[in-house]
Amino acid sequence: MNRINYWIGLSVTILACQQGHAADAWQHITKPVLPSDEIQLLKNGTEKGVVWIGTPEGAARLENGTLSLIKATKGLKVWDVAKRTEGGYWIGHSGGILLVDGERTVKALNGANVGTIQQVGDQFWCIAKDESKDRNTLMKAKGEAWEPVAALQNRRVLDMERDAKGIFWLRLDGDGVLEIDPKKTAAEAKQHLARMNVTSVMTDAKGNTWCGLMSGGVMVRIGSEWKRMLEKETTAVLTLVEDSTNRIWAATSGNGVWQYDGKNWTGILQKDGPVNLLKKTTDQRIWISTARSGGLRYWDGKGWTVSLENPMPVNLLVEPTPGVLLAGTILDGIYVMGNFSIKGE
Q: Give the per-residue pLDDT at 64.
A: 83
Please write down the HEC assignment for all residues of 151-218: HHCCCCEEEEEECCCCCEEEEECCCCEEEECCCCCHHHCEEECCCCCEEEEEECCCCCEEEEECCCCE
Q: Give the per-residue pLDDT at 301.
A: 82
What CA–CA distance (Å, rounded) separates 204 from 187? 26
Which three-class secondary structure state does DSSP give residue 260?
strand
Q: Give the per-residue pLDDT at 78.
A: 98
Phi and psi at residue 186, in whole multiples of 5°?
-60, -30
Phi-psi region of 338 (alpha: psi -120 to 50; beta: other; left: phi over 0): left
Task: Write out the H or E segment, with its range, that includes residue 119.
Answer: strand 113-120
Beta bridge partners, 126, equal: 117, 139
What CA–CA distance (Å, rounded) separates 324 from 318? 8
**Res 5 pLDDT > 60:** no
Confidence of residue 194 (pLDDT cuts 50, 70, 90): very high
Measured CA angle at 208 (ends 81, 200), to 5 deg: 40
Q: Is the peptide bond before 32 cis (omega within 30 degrees of 0)?
A: yes
Q: Is the dihedral of CA 123, 127, 130, 136 positive or negative?
A: positive
**Res 2 pLDDT > 80:** no
What CA–CA distance (Å, rounded) separates 310 from 331? 12
Contact criterion met (CB below 8 Å) for 228 and 219: yes
Burial 240-259 (b: 16+ CB within 10 A, else e): bbbeeeebbbbbbbebbbbb
What CA–CA distance (Å, rounded) separates 43 from 54? 9
| Of residues 277, 279, 299, 281, the one with CA closest to residue 290 | 277
What CA–CA distance (Å, rounded) separates 4 from 177? 42
What CA–CA distance (Å, rounded) separates 153 from 27? 45
What CA–CA distance (Å, rounded) separates 293 from 275? 10
Q: Give the per-residue pLDDT at 169.
A: 98
Phi and psi at residue 150, in whole multiples of 5°?
-55, -45
What CA–CA distance (Å, rounded) separates 172 from 159? 7
Mean pLDDT of 211-221: 98
Contact criterion met (CB below 8 Å) for 321 and 45: no
Residue 68's contacts (CB-CB under 8 Å, 6 or more residues apart) are 1, 3, 4, 60, 61, 62, 345
Confidence of residue 302 (pLDDT cuts 50, 70, 90): confident
Confidence of residue 34 (pLDDT cuts 50, 70, 90): very high
The per-residue pLDDT of the chain, averaged, comes to 90
What CA–CA distance (Å, rounded) separates 259 from 277? 15
Q: Give the per-residue pLDDT at 259.
A: 97
| For the chain, percent of residues with pLDDT exceeding 90 | 83
Which of 36-40, 69-73, 321-325 is predicted least confidently?
Answer: 321-325
Contact criterion met (CB below 8 Å) for 190 and 221: no
